[in-house]
């Protein structure tokens, strides 16, 4: 069985930047998981003494606090500043962009439509920058727009890891029903590249393995895309979750990985797959 990596996969610019920032601040504490990858968070804890504060109560005034790649709500950032913590902002610039857009367009009297998951930390942070939360609408698809009290002028942004095709459906629906629609493409380029590469590989593969955190939005999107082209597509966090029967009778195993997945985890998965195939021979 041949094992082939997607032409684009794994760590994006924002994640590489955040990890570098964390490594440069040994003994600091991240506010929320820095990225959605437990193995990499464990590596930072063991090798760089990077702690984790899940909520504000876990932060003491003496802590140096690294802000997670997904950003945090505006009021929580204000609390950290009021407590006079040393703040190291590792928020991905691609996430900072929709925060700034929402703040500006909200102040100018636009309704805000956000394409994304309301429970995702990135979206919680973006929403918090709106002037009036009653005029912010988070939708998962164009059908969710029906009946919403959106003003005649509306600004639209997207969660950075969403599919462009789905974003366009929401934009098109708004253009047909609203007088002024300001569209801001806030989907990350790395997301485009990883998704396109995974789709191309999945078309030819007998089995696809997508590596990344189970809570990672972009990794789940990759898995969904692969599944649409290759039925035998599996999402794993590391090599320990692989099942030998997945590879029985397969000729091409495709590998992709989410934007928060380090190369060393990808290599561990490849090594394990090779071990499984040798054992079957």
Chain segment 178-214, per-residue pLDDT in tens = 999 999 999 988 888 999 999 999 999 999 999 999 8
Chain segment 58-104, per-residue pLDDT in tens = 999 999 999 999 999 999 999 999 999 999 999 999 999 999 999 99
Residue 102 is predicted with a pLDDT of 98
Chain segment 26-35, per-residue pLDDT in tens = 999 999 999 9
pLDDT band at 148 (very low <50, low <70, confident <90, very high): very high
Mean pLDDT of 7-23: 93
Residue 281 is predicted with a pLDDT of 64
Residue 122 annotated in active site: yes
Residue 92 is predicted with a pLDDT of 94
Chain segment 36-70, per-residue pLDDT in tens = 899 999 999 999 999 999 999 999 999 999 999 99
* CATH 2.60.40.60 assigned to 13-91: no
Architecture of domain 2-9+189-280: 3-Layer(aba) Sandwich (3.40)
The domain limits of the chain are 2-9+189-280, 13-91, 94-183
Q: What is the dihedral angle through the alpha carbons of 61, 62, 67, 73, rounded to the nearest 10 degrees?
A: 0
Bridge partner residues of 136 (DSSP): 112
Q: What angle do CA 219, 220, 222 make, to 5 degrees?
A: 65
Residue 163 is predicted with a pLDDT of 85
CATH, range 94-183: 3.40.1010.20
Q: How far is CA 1 from CA 46, 77, 126, 147, 200, in A?
A: 36, 50, 44, 52, 19
Residue 279 clears pLDDT 80, i.e. is over it: no
- Asked, colleague to colleague, whether 2-9+189-280 and 13-91 share their fold, the answer is no
Mean pLDDT of 136-145: 97
Tokens representing 75 are: 């009021």
Helices (H) and strands (E) in the chain, counts: 9, 12
Interhelix angle 13-23/38-48, rounded to 10 degrees, is 20
- Residue of 122, 241, 248, 251 marked active site: 122
């Amino acid at each position: 069985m041949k094992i082939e990596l997607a032409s684009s996969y794994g760590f994006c610019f924002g994640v590489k930047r955040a990890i570098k920032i964390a490594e440069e601040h040994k003994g600091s504490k991240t506010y929320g998981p820095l990225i959605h990858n437990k193995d990499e968070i464990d590596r930072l804890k063991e090798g760089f003494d990077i702690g984790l504060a899940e909520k504000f109560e876990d932060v003491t005034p003496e802590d140096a606090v690294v802000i997670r790649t997904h950003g945090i709500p505006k009021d929580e950032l204000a609390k950290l500043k009021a407590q006079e913590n040393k703040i190291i902002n590792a928020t991905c610039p691609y996430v900072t962009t929709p925060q700034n857009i929402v703040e500006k367009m909200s102040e100018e009297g636009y309704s805000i439509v956000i394409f994304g998951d309301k429970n995702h930390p990135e979206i919680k942070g973006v929403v918090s920058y709106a002037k009036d939360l009653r005029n912010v609408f988070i939708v998962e698809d164009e059908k969710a727009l029906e009946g919403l009290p959106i003003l005649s002028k509306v600004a639209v942004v997207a969660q950075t890891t969403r599919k462009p095709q789905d974003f366009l459906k929401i934009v098109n629906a708004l253009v047909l029903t609203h007088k002024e629609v300001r569209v801001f493409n806030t989907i990350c380029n790395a997301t485009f590249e990883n998704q396109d590469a995974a789709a191309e590989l999945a078309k030819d593969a007998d089995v696809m393995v997508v590596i990344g955190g189970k809570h990672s939005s972009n990794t789940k999107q990759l898995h969904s895309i692969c599944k649409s082209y290759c039925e035998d597509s599996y999402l794993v966090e590391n090599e320990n979750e692989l099942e030998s029967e997945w590879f029985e009778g397969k000729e091409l195993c495709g590998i992709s990985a989410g934007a928060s997945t380090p190369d060393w985890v990808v290599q561990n998965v490849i090594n394990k797959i090779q071990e499984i195939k040798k054992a079957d021979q």
